[in-house]
Amino acid sequence: MEDRKITVVGAGTMGRGIAQLLAQHYVNVHMVEQNQTILGEAKEKIRGQYEILREYEFITEHEMNEALGRISLSDSLQDAQNSWMVIEAIPEVLELKQTLFQTLEEFCGPATIFATNTSGLSINQISVQLMHRERFIGTHFFMPAAIIPLVEVIRGDETSNQVCDEVMQFFKKIHKEPVLIQKDIPGFIGNRIQHAMAREAISLLEEGIATAEEIDTVVRWSLGVRLLFTGPLEQRDLNGLDVHHHIASYLYKDLENRTEPSRLLSEKVQNGELGTKTGKGFYDWDKDSQAAALQMKNAQLLQLMKWIRK
């Protein structure tokens, strides 16, 4: 991996997580960020994440220092030239992403793979104005990017088979679980299923069926425990498709199927109740509870991954 240079554009939470992941797997990473404050904080924040990994014995102090040495920083997109791949991790605004990749085409040769990290924007729309759409691909990481194994690799209409194969093989070599999505559909797979579940959960809360805590408890201690080992389609086979068909025949028509965000969700957004970023959402959050919850959940994920590796 050390002979491949990858440029990560964007040093926010996702960009830092991607850089951390790559560097700890012996990839030379160049981070580009034009906001000087974010750029100045990037390496220390990545060090902080490595310290957590070190605490759980995922890496040694020597490995951590070596990984940090593989990360370089700049504020110039021109430094992306000679990269094997450029991974974009800037805000989810279509026009920003389009402009960024058009600029990158001025500096990078046609052999450089362009990858966008998007939660659901169209791969085809992002790349529509590029000259070399055959080298453009989607790489959707899940937060925290250095811990969650999955990467959705999304093929655009013009993406070449060679680029798909190279990207899939690369992620396997750095111990990720890549899935190649053959069609550019909104939300890809993970977010479509996640939003379908969230839509039903919000509807249940809106109808007063249970509290937010109780709904989350049902999901965590039934579906959540099982989903790591059995996906929804395999579980249908285990239960029996005839059983599922019978339940579906009366339950589907009662499930939430609105095509717009729910009234409850819209009201919360209008009232500035945005979750941890404002201190109130479906739950109440103060600064201490926010930090404690995030730290605990990341620690639990790390413990789970350590158990899986064993």
Report the C-alpha dihedral over residues 144, 148, 150, 154, rounded to 10 degrees: 0
List Cβ neighbours of 157 (8 Å cut-off, separation of 6 or more): 124, 133, 184
Neighbouring C-beta atoms of residue 73, cutoff 10 Å: 16
By the 10 Å C-beta count (0-12 exposed, 13-18 middle, 19+ buried), 26 is classed as: middle
Helix (H) or strand (E) holding 194: helix 190-206
Q: Please identify every residue annotated as catalytic.
A: 119, 140, 152, 191
Helix (H) or strand (E) holding 154: strand 150-155
107: left (phi over 0), alpha (psi -120 to 50) or beta: alpha
Please give the angle made by the CA atoms of 88, 94 and 99, to the nearest 5 degrees.
Answer: 65
